[in-house]
Structure 1
Amino acid sequence: MNEELIARVGHHLRSWVTGRPLTAEAPGTAATVVLEDAAGLDAVLGSDAVGPGTLVLVPEAPAVQQGRDDRSGATVVGYEGSLSGSEGDASVDDVLFLQIQDYGVSPYMSLLGTTLVRMSGDTDFDLFLADADAARTEGRFAAFAVSPAVQLADLSALGARVPGDGPGTRLYVGRDGGVSVSPQGLRLGTAGDSAAVLRAEWERLNAASEVPGTVPLGAAVPEEVRGPAVHQRPWLARYLTTLDVLRDLQTRGITEPRVSGFGHRLVPELAEAEGALYTERASNADDAEAPILCWTPERAYVRVPGLDRTFQLGRRAAEITELLLVLGADEAATRHADRAEVERVLAFFADKGVPLARVLEATA
């Protein structure tokens, strides 16, 4: 298998695991389909749920079946192992390897490479919530969760904002022919069903829940457990985004930074007034799209979600940035810093192509 196809498989697998779409445009056919059994391949390829842009992953697919399918235009790739369980591993062409484990055992397992972490039931979900709560109140992030090797599965079910998740992004076909978006997901239909049927069931199931994300995890964690827990924690989307930021920082050798709003504040006055003035301006404490400020004793860093850039700041600039994030530009200048300093920080980000004032306004 050539390097280009291997890279494509890696991108598709990441999307299939997380639910994050490959592109901003919602395709009419599934971008990625994973089958647990090759017996369902013909039914899948005969459906309009797949098309020329679809990558279909099939266990132990015969060589004659791999490659571009003449009927649908989809690309069929074989894999070894399993992508459906909560433990084990899978590989593609002995080049791309994926380790799979459930959330509960992850703190005790060695990370040997790219690792998919799943919620296999209530216990895993409870442990995920406990770790999220500890990060929020104490600034203590689970070590495995911020490892660059780890990817949490089914992010929309965990409270992340993933607008493109659904049957247009990913499908899973079980051994019994049942179709969902993930192995732990609620059933949407049967292999061979049309894209319209699968989409309609996705929308029906989602509409039945007040909290987005019911489908991807619904067969493993009851909605009466998941829904209220996510609803009570509107900051989970920001927590999951912060995990991404911390993983990225680790790849740069930056370990164990503190994160503003997660148990810590860089500006002492903000920490002292957490219950008063901060509560008045708490919108971006829960907003996954608001900039994230991290720091170590030596450096401070700002990441704007959606941009593949991390900005390094001096201490004073980082403090003003935190004031801006918590209070907004006008109040930051009035309460804690002169306007010239605020304007210099805003100008710095503007020069880097990040109109921070507009970002703050949009997330307020």
Structure 2
Amino acid sequence: MVDHHTSLAKRHLVSWGTGTRHRQAADAEPAARPGALTVVLEDAGLLPAVLGGDLAGPHSLVLAPGVASSPLEGPEPGSPVVVGYEGSAAQPGDELSIGDSFFLQTQEYSASQFMSVIGPTLIRVFDGSDFAAYLADADRARAEGVFPAFATDPVIRLADLPSLGASPAADGPATRLYADADGTVSTAPGGAALGSAGDAFADLLGVWERVNKDSAHPCAVGLGATVPEAERCASLAERPWLGRYLAALDALRELRARDVSHLRVSGFGGRLSETAEPVAEAADAHGTELPLLLWNEQGAYVHSTPTGRFFQIGTDAARIAETVLACGDAETAAERVDAAALAKVTAFFERAGVPLTGRTEAAR
């Protein structure tokens, strides 16, 4: 039973820590019913208030320190699953453990390059210096193609991605909640307060929606108590490509886990093909709708962020794919590459459901 609890908690903690929806975290969209997919409590004394209200629903997993884990189907039909843990996931240097088989470390961003990675680690922005270090690493990757090695380690995850430039669509109280020792609730340990553990889910959701409605760059909640909102928004506005940078980190991390290394990422520090550069206002300059192209001396990979799929292709095909990605449409790309080869490459990705222009034939 412990192994099942651990496996379930690991999937939920990925979603909770990053602010994104893990594909296996739940079998239904949480927005259809009250309660967060994952709730992490710093104090077990808050458990009665959470279970007695609607912050957690039948689809929820609640992590509380020092308590016994409930059966996987919940203590009663339609009740949340409770998993006990030791430690904490709120401060740099903290470690959250479930049983004796899973340990999640928490580390501040600015110190991560100097730390040895031992196991699963969640890297957070805890203050302004962490945020500045994150931006500096992103800027270097964009200009030089050099990504921070620690951030591409397969056991590393960056926390609060929607507040760092990723899409905020999956974040919010329906995905995650965190209650500190005083019972103050946010979506993350460094987040803006949404209410308290005894509040109704609808009230917390209403506050979250209002805060983000007033922000030029949601999510404004995840780092709301950590980085001044004006500073965060200005930094993201200057770097509209940050979402693509974060997607590139995910792709590099996944391929590194498959023993694929020394990769370059198209659009970050250069291109593979001269036919893809220079392209004024390249279609793949920002956003994650268009696939990413990565390559090394052995070959190339096309990665679809929305689906999580990877395609390994030859270098010649990669040059054509990259040109289409940069141009934004096959017609413009045809002015730069061989038309017959272009048709074959684009048709392959169309059939795979990952069009290089972000549009399917049916939508054209």
TM-score range, shorter chain: over 0.9
TM-score, length-scaled by structure 2: 0.92
Instruction: Name 1:304's counterpart in structure 2.
Output: 304
Instruction: Name 1:111's counterpart in structure 2.
Output: 117
Instruction: Name 1:323's counterpart in structure 2.
Output: 323
- Where do residues 1-364 of structure 1 align in structure 2 (5 Å cutoff)? 1-21=1-21, 22=25, 25=29, 26=31, 27-62=33-68, 68-70=74-76, 73-271=79-277, 273=278, 278-280=279-281, 282-327=282-327, 328-334=329-335, 336-359=336-359
Distance 1:359 1:86, change over 3 A: farther
Q: How far apart are 1:264 and its partner, in Å?
A: 1.4
CA distance in 1, matches of 2:260, 2:133: 26
Contact 1:178–1:190 (CA under 8 A) maintained in structure 2 = yes
Q: How far apart are 1:67 and its partner, in Å?
A: 7.8
CA distance in 2, matches of 1:297, 1:86: 38
Whose helix proportion is higher, 1 or 2? 1
Q: How far apart are 1:88 and its partner, in Å?
A: 2.1
Moved more, 308-317 or 352-361: 352-361
Contact 2:275–2:337 (CA under 8 A) maintained in structure 1 = no
Structure 1 unaligned spans of 5+: none
Structure 2 counterpart of 1:329, one-letter code: A
Moved more, 19-28 or 343-352: 19-28
Q: How far apart are 1:66 and its partner, in Å?
A: 9.8
CA distance in 2, matches of 1:122, 1:362: 46
SS at match of 1:263: coil
Contact 1:287–1:363 (CA under 8 A) maintained in structure 2 = no
Q: How far apart are 1:205 and its partner, in Å?
A: 1.1
Q: How many pairs are equivalent?
A: 357
Q: How far apart are 1:158 and its partner, in Å?
A: 0.2
Q: How far apart are 1:316 and its partner, in Å?
A: 1.1
Distance 1:314 1:219, change over 3 A: same
Contact 1:67–1:77 (CA under 8 A) maintained in structure 2 = no
CA distance in 2, matches of 1:85, 1:207: 29
Distance 1:361 1:139, change over 3 A: farther
Contact 1:58–1:76 (CA under 8 A) maintained in structure 2 = yes
SS at match of 1:264: coil
1:134-190 CA deviation, whole Å, 9 max, x = no partner? 000110100001111100000000010131211111110111110000100000001
1:54-84 CA deviation, whole Å, 9 max, x = no partner? 1110011156899824497011111011111
TM-score, length-scaled by structure 1: 0.92
1:267-316 CA deviation, whole Å, 9 max, x = no partner? 12444x3xxxx224x23210112110011112111111122321111121
Structure 1 counterpart of 2:176, one-letter code: R
CA distance in 2, matches of 1:357, 1:234: 19
Moved more, 353-362 or 97-106: 353-362
Moved more, 55-64 or 162-171: 55-64
Distance 1:46 1:316, change over 3 A: same
SS at match of 2:217: coil
Structure 1 counterpart of 2:43, one-letter code: D
Contact 1:66–1:77 (CA under 8 A) maintained in structure 2 = no
SS at match of 2:113: helix
CA distance in 1, matches of 2:58, 2:256: 37
1:309-332 CA deviation, whole Å, 9 max, x = no partner? 211111211110111001121011
Distance 1:355 1:288, change over 3 A: closer
1:22-79 CA deviation, whole Å, 9 max, x = no partner? 4572242111100001111111111112111111100111568998244970111110
Contact 2:142–2:267 (CA under 8 A) maintained in structure 1 = yes
Structure 2 unaligned spans of 5+: none
Q: How far apart are 1:126 and its partner, in Å?
A: 0.3
SS at match of 1:216: coil
Contact 2:42–2:88 (CA under 8 A) maintained in structure 1 = yes
CA distance in 1, matches of 2:228, 2:203: 23
